[in-house]
Amino acid sequence: MIRFPARTQGGYLSADRLLHSLPQGNPHVRLFSSAILALAFSTSTLLTGIAAAETTKLVLVAGKPSHPPRMHEFNAGVQLLAKSLASVEDLETEVVLNGWPEDESIFEDADAVVFYMDGGGRHEVVQEEGRRLKLIDQWVKNGVGVGFMHFGVEVIADQAGEEFKDWIGGHYEHMFSCNPFWEPMFVTLPDHPITRGVKPFQIKDEWYFNMRFVGDMAGNKPAEVDGLKFQPILVAVPSDDVRNGPYVYPKGPYKHIQANQGRAEAMMWVVNREDGGRGLGFTGGHFHDNWGNDDFRKVVLNGLLWVAKHDVPEGGVESTVTQADLDANLDKKNRR
């Protein structure tokens, strides 16, 4: 039965019910009406199917609680980001809390999956003896966008380094990359959908830099390596003091970091992959309250849309975050 998208007291109005409501005495009227109604119902069904197909599905995966209060608030962070995206048309945002989901069906038909979580040797994506890595790699081969934020960009090179280079263009590598607390000024923003509506901003965070990028490039300029198109988004020059440390762990300094004095460093970047998918890396996000900064938040929200191949509004994603929003959904941690 074809359903016409008009409600009656009993539900949807079917084609048969509507036809029976027409004048019964004139067969020509009924024949003509039947043809018109069939065409209308077919067109309506087709348009409904097209509208459903255009909906973008974004899955945000939060890691388990870690660190002191208001730091690494992954669960609260993804919920705040999802709320900030609620006004975006034709976008379905799904949220996974506390690590890898027990029910993996949430990933079905996803246009992009973005992970905001702890990384390193216990990274959620390297568990189960590589099964999850293989699953994500299959998503990537099917053109699904993937992204990793903050600690989530760190993996052990032998575990997932090559995968991260293929998926998002690079990763944090222990003792090669560094993780100081500092306050870069993002002055020059590239002409890219992710920077729409974003004004230059400065904010303190645990901004990682000196990533292990594909092709061992510095990552501070657009490049193409083996078909992977790389574009830095947030770039700034660390001062000598920042390069000298202390880093969060180990405290440094590292001679190879000091040797690149004066070099610009990428702290957010994206890639277009040959498979048609997209990748995103973002090293900020340590301090939960930074989501209250409009430009910090907007560049990430824009990035989430972009990696999912959803149109970024001309002025970027508009959202408002209150103190109540920042205080919502925080993990229960030791408050001492």
Written out in words, the top-level CATH class of the domain with range 57-327 is alpha beta
Q: What per-residue confidence (pLDDT) applies to 76? A: 98
Cβ contacts of residue 293 below 8 Å, gap of 6+? 201, 203
Main-chain dihedrals φ then ψ at residue 159, nearest 5 degrees: -85, -45
Which residue in this structure is represented by tokens 């029910």? 103
Give the closest residue to 126 by CA, choosing from 99, 106, 145.
99
**Residue 167 near residue 146, CB atoms below 8 Å:** yes
How far is Cα 51 from Cα 34, in angstroms, rounded to an integer?
26
Q: What per-residue confidence (pLDDT) applies to 289? A: 98
pLDDT of 19 strictly over 50: no
How far is Cα 198 from Cα 294, in angstroms, rounded to an integer?
8
Cβ contacts of residue 122 below 8 Å, gap of 6+? none
**Residue 297 near residue 84, CB atoms below 8 Å:** yes
Cβ contacts of residue 132 below 8 Å, gap of 6+? 100, 124, 125, 126
Q: What per-residue confidence (pLDDT) applies to 9? A: 32
SS3 label, residue 44: helix
Q: What per-residue confidence (pLDDT) applies to 143? A: 96
**Residue 179 near residue 249, CB atoms below 8 Å:** yes
pLDDT tens digits, residue range 200-255?
A: 999 999 999 999 999 999 999 999 999 999 999 999 999 999 999 999 999 999 99
pLDDT of 317 strictly over 70: yes
Give the closest residue to 208 by CA, choosing from 241, 167, 244, 171.
171
Report CA dihedral (198, 200, 202, 208) to the nearest 10 degrees.
Answer: 70
The 10 Å Cβ neighbour count of residue 254 is 18
pLDDT of 24 strictly over 80: no
Average pLDDT, the chain: 88
pLDDT band at 183 (very low <50, low <70, confident <90, very high): very high
How far is Cα 143 from Cα 275, in angstroms, rounded to an integer?
6
What is the maximum alpha-carbon separation in the chain?
94
* Helical ranges in 112-237 per DSSP H: 131-141, 162-168
pLDDT tens digits, residue range 91-123?
A: 999 999 999 999 999 999 999 999 999 999 999
Distances 23 to 40, 45, 300 between C-alpha atoms, Å: 19, 25, 59
Q: What per-residue confidence (pLDDT) applies to 192? A: 98
Main-chain dihedrals φ then ψ at residue 111, nearest 5 degrees: -85, -25
Amino acid, res. 152: G
